[in-house]
Amino acid sequence: EQIQVRTRGEFGGIGLEMTMEHGLLKCITSIEDTPAHRAGIRPGDLISHINGEPVLGMTLIQAVKKMRGSAGSAIVVTVRRGMSSEAFDVRLVREIIRIKPVSARAEGDIGYIRIVTFNERTYRSMNRAIAGLSRELGGRMNGLVIDLRDNPGGLLDQALKVSDAFLVEGEIVSTVGRHRDRVRRFRADPEDLASGIPIAVLINGGSASASEIVSGALKDHGRVVVFGQRSFGKGSVQTVIPLGQGQGALRLTTARYYTPSGQSIQVHGIEPDIISVEADPAQREKNLRNPLSAEGQVRKGNGALMEEVCPDVSGGEDPILLCALHMLRSGLLSVEIQTLN
């Protein structure tokens, strides 16, 4: 059920992205224009009870299942804003939540595209977003930022299409199974949706799986400069086998992903070319319980520190984005791409 929701990109709920912390639900973000967002639930808020039932002792999947339900049904969550604050109840009415995979805006003459997940609509939405930006800027878009931060991944075919949109040739990603001679390679078609303009890709420790396929492919081909923090390191291929008659599904790890240069994504992740100080290095695959081991070539990092490359943006609201925009506008990003190649 969770996999189907992720693929379709819609569900009945209140619009919260959550994780577990100290046995409570922690809000990562509330999706814009959803019941949770309109009620003022903020990132960092903790939920201790769902309809009066304690969250403590539930798994994340169990808690999420209780949060979801049919549109129009009511739910009461008990919220604590900071561990020392007094808890309060919030009554919400569930709605159909549609996960918008892509958002876009113009930053002067630079296009900015945020991809939050790779579901069935991601490539089509991105294609429309780029066309819309091009019209808005009168065909004079001089650079593009693709923001993959905190994108947990999704469908492989969408990651392939997004990568292919900016490459004119070569391998996008390969998979290697238990038997090393069983290699499957995915290659690009000769068309660049961005017409060769310079591109910055933003990643962090929350960028995983499909996000790492995209950033790794574009980085290895020298098509982009990658900014931010080392990605999560989820480079395992998982095959889902439905059990039938509503009995759930079996998810098996069957192979590993490798970037075009032969770098293993598993555990090691993708290292940026321009590195920001990592905010929370614990939130990565290698620090999970019993992570799948890495195999194959691992490229040693030689990225530049963002604080040295863009010393004037450190006090800004989003220094990584500001640095990318600065390098695009100044032409330094094009020079960096030539240096990397």
For the record, the structure tokens of 308 come out as: 């040295």
Of 277, 274, 263, nearest to 303 by C-alpha is 274
Angle, CA of 102, 256 and 215, to the nearest 5°: 35
Instruction: Decide the pairing of beta strands 88-93 and 249-258.
Output: unpaired
d(CA 87, CA 310): 42
3-state secondary structure of 251: strand
Q: Of the listed 234, 264, 273, 276, which one is catalytic?
A: 234
Q: Which helix (H) or strand (E) holds 132?
A: helix 122-136
Give me the catalytic one of 147, 220, 264, 276.
Answer: 220
Is 157 a catalytic site residue?
no
SS3 308: helix
Handedness of CA 285, 287, 292, 296 (dihedral sign): positive
- Choice among 30, 209, 215, 276 that is catalytic: 209
- Please state, in angstroms and as integers, the Cα–Cα distance from residue 250 to each residue in 62, 241, 247, following that order: 17, 5, 10
Distance CA 203, CA 215 (A): 8
> Beta-carbon neighbour count of residue 137 at 10 Å?
15
Is 234 a catalytic site residue? yes
Instruction: Let me know if 220 is a catalytic residue.
Output: yes
Rounded CA-CA distance 276/324 in Å is: 12
DSSP string, 138-190: TT---EEEEE-TT---B-HHHHHHHHHTT-SSSEEEEEEESSTT-EEEEE--S
Selection from 101, 102, 275 nearest residue 203 by Cα: 275
Give the residue numbers marked as catalytic.
Answer: 209, 220, 234
